[in-house]
Structure 1
Amino acid sequence: MNNTRDWRDAVYERLAGDDDGRVCAAISDDACREAPGNFLRLGAANALTALADSVASAKTTLPWLLAQVGSPAGLTALLVPLRESGSMLPQLLLGAAVRRMPVRKHVWVACAVVQALSLAGMAAAALWLQGLAAGAAVVACLAVFSLARAGGSMSYKDVLGKTIPKTRRGRLSGWIAALAGGGALAIGAALAGLSAQAPLTLFAALLAAAAGCWLVAAAVFARIVEAPGASEGAAGGWAAVLASLRLLRDDLALRRFVAARALALGSALSAPLVVALARDAQGGGVGWLGLFIALEGVAALVSAPLWGRWADDDSPRVFTLASGAAGVLAIAAATLVAAGAPPAWQAAGLPLLFLGLGVAHAGVRLARKTYLVDIATGDRRTEYTAVSNSVIGLVLLGAGALGALAASVSIPATLIMLGLGSLAGAALARRWAPA
């Protein structure tokens, strides 16, 4: 047992930069003693789920699959808004139920199993259905996946806040993204060498592998040592919604955070539009899908550990820099196409800009996750997470509808609008309260 603990301590000290003495900011002494093991368990579980998200992405893999089975384009347009908003909107209603549970890791484990089953359902649809039936089945499974994601998101941030020291949370998130990025790079590189018409069994295998990652992650997460937290006073149903909305009204720091996060959605929504421009210019072969999956992995592998360390020191500054960079890159991609650059320039420039957007988006994600956990204390993290995610879910639905309409007219114009929003989010983040 001591040898195991020594091994965990050594790895923790190396990854968390904790070699000068155990840092135990904002957690109990008991949680501090378990921090090395919990750091590794959280890292392994979430690296597996992040890899699964890259393999079964609603921005890349699922649109390719629906096109392959002949599904209507309207269903393809639903994928990203449903994936993102579906995992956020229910959180105000679910938050009270999660807060009534003293140990919340069990919520994450149950939600992980549901997400694995949803991905398995998509794999079955890829093998046995065609056309509208296949598309409808994939979208239905994605809806279930997103609802399960809502519970997992709330419980994860609370478990993270109870088990990992405040100044080490961003580094953990950075290593998670880097590990997943390395896996995505390998898978994307393999796909890049395939022919334009890959068999449906390939997509089914990718989705089944993603489901397997979620099941293994659930088993690892279940072993986290989590002390019981407060569970009294949790309102239910619509009473919880009204109470949470009052929190948004009364808490200036939370309100500024949500506003900046909403404006910075361009860092995520711009990437699939850049992919669409590249597909128009170079064709929709699986090799291009592999290239963009690999580039997304490279972005996470290169940027995430660095962003995570900076986010621990000054998450508002990281958010400002990353969101501003995303805005500039989105506008640059729009300008490249709108100016009629030669096809060779677009073929080289759009993947590079996509890579840059991946690096910037990694910074935005890590900074806002670290900041949200740091500004909330105790069991209020679940409430903050539910409020911010539910509001962002509503914004995503509206932005998705407007973006789909605008993109049908002009993708470059849509990119410019998203880029300007990211720049505005960067400016607003400069007014965030210190974490």
Structure 2
Amino acid sequence: MPSQFSRSLFRRLVDDADRDGGLKPALRKAEPSNFLRHIVGLAGTKSADGLIDPKLVLSWLLSHLGAGAFYTGLLVPVREAGALLPQIFTAALIHGRGRRKWVWALGSAVQGLAAGGIALAGLRLEGALAGAVIVALLAVLAVARSACSVAYKDVLGKTIGQSRRGTVTGTASTIGSAAVVIFALVLLFVPVDRYALVEWAIFLAAIGWGIGAVMMALMVEDDDGGTGESGLPNPWTLLSEDRQLRLFIMARALLVGTALAPPYLVLLASKGSQDFAELGGLVLASSVAAFLSAYIWGRLSDRSSRRVLIYAGLAAAVSLALALGINAMGLAQTIWAMPVVLFCLMLAYHGVRQGRSTHLVDMSGPGERADYTAVLNTVVGLFLLVAGAGAAALGSVSVPLVIGVFLVMSVAGAWIATKLTEVQT
């Protein structure tokens, strides 16, 4: 039975607490408790994501360990590809399970173990060996994350009613972002051993994933028997039969610039140094943006995830236009410029994440979510690899030109999102 606290929290945070939201009666009764478990578990894992951020934290760690540019350059591609591309294969396995929460719980536990291994490698190893071990552990973490991603959409759809799912994920994201804000402030202003602080942050990330595993294991989820399907989902069949899925994937792919652009903003601002103030400032800008926007994007997604994708795409375009304008005026290397632009871009990034997550869950039926998620993330993962490689090649010629390309892609993604149907009812 739900506790008084979980019932009170549920009613305080959602607008339609008495609506069944499409849940079965038994799960409707357990929804307040599941609501709290989702928030606590997701807050732990989202905090972990920020504390071990490959673009910032792990890149600095490998640089400090003398791992070299090769292994440092592998971090983001390994993390992104490892999290997205395996999903076409894991979806079939998840389909056969009556309770998908165990997939997520195991995946979160594996991520925690991998993060713990990364922290130990940072303490014990140096040079290329440290780079190889940390990249390999990050690959394990990313693959485990891919299984969690497929399973979570299904578990969320089964345990939290429609029009309340964005609130759950948005609230958890806000809490997780607050934890990362604290880390960034300590990194910037507290006179402690910064290397030890980064190591402790990675160990705390491991604990965060452990909390996520425990919360998901405690989730009340009915056994729906699985679909009985053992084969891989056929992406060509799904894409040919569902025009809305095609449009959604196109919009999502074009909006990847919100994830790929930040390193190029850093290049515009770079003065050839990578000190702790730079690391702390970037982490702070990113985490504050997530903290301020996640809950709001979540609530807006419950009303119209389609509009969230449109607004986020336009916000990304404005942010990137601002970056180009600042660079053209010769202000890119001022202390405030790129953090401000990065803050604005991260607002858009979290809108894209929240909008596409809620839209995917609400547009697909219970038997389709794992397949839709797998196809979406596999196609977008491939596009990320191609776009990332193309941007890297173009960036060697002109960084502003890369940012301009991402700007055009963001506008195109917002335009395609206007063609999506409303899926919130």
**TM class by shorter-chain length?**
over 0.9
- Which residue of structure 2 aligns with residue 71 of structure 1? 67
Q: Distance in 1 between matches of 2:165 and 2:24?
A: 15
- Which residue of structure 1 aligns with residue 12 of structure 2? 14
Q: Distance in 2 between matches of 1:198 and 1:336?
A: 35
Closer, same or farther: CA 425–230 of 1 in aligned 2, 3 Å: farther
- Which residue of structure 2 aligns with residue 298 of structure 1? 288
Q: Distance in 2 between matches of 1:369 and 1:342?
A: 33
Given that residues 154 and 385 in structure 1 are in contact (C-alpha distance below 8 angstroms), is that contact kept between their aligned partners in structure 2?
Answer: yes
Given that residues 252 and 356 in structure 2 are in contact (C-alpha distance below 8 angstroms), is that contact kept between their aligned partners in structure 1?
Answer: yes
Given that residues 268 and 333 in structure 2 are in contact (C-alpha distance below 8 angstroms), is that contact kept between their aligned partners in structure 1?
Answer: no
1:26-105 aligned within 5 A = 26-105=22-101
Q: Distance in 1 between matches of 2:332 and 2:212?
A: 45
Given that residues 320 and 427 in structure 1 are in contact (C-alpha distance below 8 angstroms), is that contact kept between their aligned partners in structure 2?
Answer: yes
Task: Report the Cα offset of residue 249 of structure 1.
Answer: 2.0
- Which residue of structure 2 aligns with residue 109 of structure 1? 105
The residue matched to 2:336 in structure 1 has which SS? helix
1:337-348 aligned within 5 A = 337-341=327-331, 343-344=333-334, 347-348=335-336
Q: Distance in 1 between matches of 2:392 and 2:68?
A: 15
Q: Deviations over 1:178-198 (max 9, x none)?
A: 111111111110001257x95
> Aligned partner of 1:210: which letter?
A
> Aligned partner of 1:231: which letter?
G
The residue matched to 1:86 in structure 2 has which SS? helix
> Aligned partner of 2:364: which letter?
A
Closer, same or farther: CA 144–28 of 1 in aligned 2, 3 Å: same
- Which residue of structure 1 aligns with residue 236 of structure 2? 245
- Which residue of structure 2 aligns with residue 156 of structure 1? 152
- Which residue of structure 1 aligns with residue 119 of structure 2? 123
Closer, same or farther: CA 343–268 of 1 in aligned 2, 3 Å: closer
- Which residue of structure 1 aligns with residue 140 of structure 2? 144
Task: Report the Cα offset of residue 356 of structure 1.
Answer: 0.7
Task: Report the Cα offset of residue 380 of structure 1.
Answer: 0.9
- Which residue of structure 1 aligns with residue 320 of structure 2? 330
Residues 1:220 and 2:215 are matched in the alignment: yes
> Aligned partner of 1:119: which letter?
A
2:376 to 388, 393, 397: 388
Q: Distance in 2 between matches of 1:276 and 1:228?
A: 50
Closer, same or farther: CA 113–342 of 1 in aligned 2, 3 Å: closer
Task: Report the Cα offset of residue 415 of structure 1.
Answer: 1.3
Q: Deviations over 1:130-172 (max 9, x none)?
A: 1111111111111111110111001100000001011001111
Given that residues 105 and 222 in structure 1 are in contact (C-alpha distance below 8 angstroms), is that contact kept between their aligned partners in structure 2?
Answer: yes
- Which residue of structure 1 aligns with residue 276 of structure 2? 286
Q: Distance in 1 between matches of 2:45 and 2:66?
A: 28
TM-score in terms of structure 2 length: 0.95
> Aligned partner of 2:46: which letter?
A
Given that residues 187 and 194 in structure 2 are in contact (C-alpha distance below 8 angstroms), is that contact kept between their aligned partners in structure 1?
Answer: no
Residues 1:416 and 2:392 are matched in the alignment: no
Given that residues 47 and 180 in structure 2 are in contact (C-alpha distance below 8 angstroms), is that contact kept between their aligned partners in structure 1?
Answer: yes
Given that residues 266 and 327 in structure 1 are in contact (C-alpha distance below 8 angstroms), is that contact kept between their aligned partners in structure 2?
Answer: no
Task: Report the Cα offset of residue 6 of structure 1.
Answer: 2.4
Task: Report the Cα offset of residue 38 of structure 1.
Answer: 0.4
Residues 1:5 and 2:3 are matched in the alignment: yes
- Which residue of structure 1 aligns with residue 226 of structure 2? 231
- Which residue of structure 2 aligns with residue 378 of structure 1? 366
- Which residue of structure 2 aligns with residue 366 of structure 1? 354
Closer, same or farther: CA 343–270 of 1 in aligned 2, 3 Å: closer
Closer, same or farther: CA 77–29 of 1 in aligned 2, 3 Å: same
% same residue? 36
Given that residues 88 and 389 in structure 1 are in contact (C-alpha distance below 8 angstroms), is that contact kept between their aligned partners in structure 2?
Answer: yes
Residues 1:204 and 2:204 are matched in the alignment: no
- Which residue of structure 2 aligns with residue 256 of structure 1? 247
- Which residue of structure 2 aligns with residue 134 of structure 1? 130
Q: Distance in 2 between matches of 1:33 and 1:172?
A: 17
Q: Distance in 2 between matches of 1:173 and 1:232?
A: 26
Task: Report the Cα offset of residue 209 of structure 1.
Answer: 1.1
Q: Distance in 2 between matches of 1:26 and 1:165?
A: 6
Q: Distance in 2 between matches of 1:115 and 1:174?
A: 22
Q: Distance in 2 between matches of 1:281 and 1:22?
A: 56
- Which residue of structure 2 aligns with residue 316 of structure 1? 306
> Aligned partner of 2:136: which letter?
A
The residue matched to 2:421 in structure 1 has which SS? coil
Given that residues 251 and 414 in structure 2 are in contact (C-alpha distance below 8 angstroms), is that contact kept between their aligned partners in structure 1?
Answer: yes
TM-score in terms of structure 1 length: 0.93
Task: Report the Cα offset of residue 200 of structure 1.
Answer: 3.7
- Which residue of structure 1 aligns with residue 337 of structure 2? 349
The residue matched to 1:166 in structure 2 has which SS? coil
Structure 2: runs of 5 or more not aligned: none
Q: CA RMSD in A?
A: 1.7
> Aligned partner of 1:8: which letter?
S
The residue matched to 1:388 in structure 2 has which SS? helix
The residue matched to 1:181 in structure 2 has which SS? helix
Task: Report the Cα offset of residue 338 of structure 1.
Answer: 4.1
> Aligned partner of 1:353: which letter?
V
Given that residues 112 and 152 in structure 1 are in contact (C-alpha distance below 8 angstroms), is that contact kept between their aligned partners in structure 2?
Answer: yes
Given that residues 187 and 197 in structure 2 are in contact (C-alpha distance below 8 angstroms), is that contact kept between their aligned partners in structure 1?
Answer: no
The residue matched to 1:60 in structure 2 has which SS? helix
